[in-house]
Amino acid sequence: MPDRAKAPGSDPVPSSTAKATPSDSSRQNAPIRHAFTSSRLAYLQASFSVVALLGPHSPAGKRDAEVPSALAVWEAVQRAAVPLHGATGGSVPFDVVDVRLVEEGGPVVMRVQVLFRIAREHVDILSTTLLAADSNLWAQSLFPSLASSSSSAGSPILVRCTVQGASAHLERYLSDSNAWMASLLASTSTPAPVALPNR
């Protein structure tokens, strides 16, 4: 389990085009921090979108839904990585730098934006985990109260994860064993060049 510390004020973070504001949850939960030995770090920005399957309406319990903490995101990604990449994938260190709520409309009930930091040689593991993990895992791990109340009310939800940030460069990080992710990446992620911070 990584140490949890106060968010440093001087860490460079790539700018985001999303109109997001820090959530109360992100203020109360310190980012997950690792002491990386690699000097080549990459930032990935992921969005977890909660979609109402029955159309543009608000599932029951939305008002009480909490934005997941950095620790909850970290634990969910760890659980998702093991079935996809084995013990090696589950032991790859990464930071959850920031978690923000982005308000949406229509069928997208809410969207949570997460900024990850990871050694570049492990970008393929993190990115494929985020894109390939089952929607139910994200729903139960990140939005348990919303998933439960929505299901009980007959308003099921789907949680979709997309990856931005380093997505313009992901293909060259994909290993041969993960080549099957190329088509999924092309269909679920929109490349958007981002200037990574110099380390």
Helices (H), the chain: 24-28, 70-90, 123-132, 135-142, 144-152, 170-173, 181-188
Kindly list the domain boundaries of the chain, sorted by start residue: 21-188
Q: Pick out the chain residues at pLDDT < 50.
A: 3-28, 60-61, 63-64, 166-182, 184-185, 188-199
Q: Are the beta carbons of 22 and 125 closer than 8 angstroms?
A: no
CA–CA distance from 106 to each of 47, 51, 148, 162 (Å)? 17, 9, 21, 18
What is the pTM for the complete model shown? 0.64
Partners of 162 in the β-ladder: 47
pLDDT of residue 106: 66
DSSP state, residue 29: S
pLDDT of residue 9: 36
Which of 46, 26, 47, 50 has its CA nearest to residue 139? Answer: 50
pLDDT of residue 72: 92
Angle at 38 between CA 34 and CA 39, to 5 degrees: 110
Amino acid 33 reads R
pLDDT of residue 76: 93
pLDDT of residue 35: 67
pLDDT of residue 38: 64
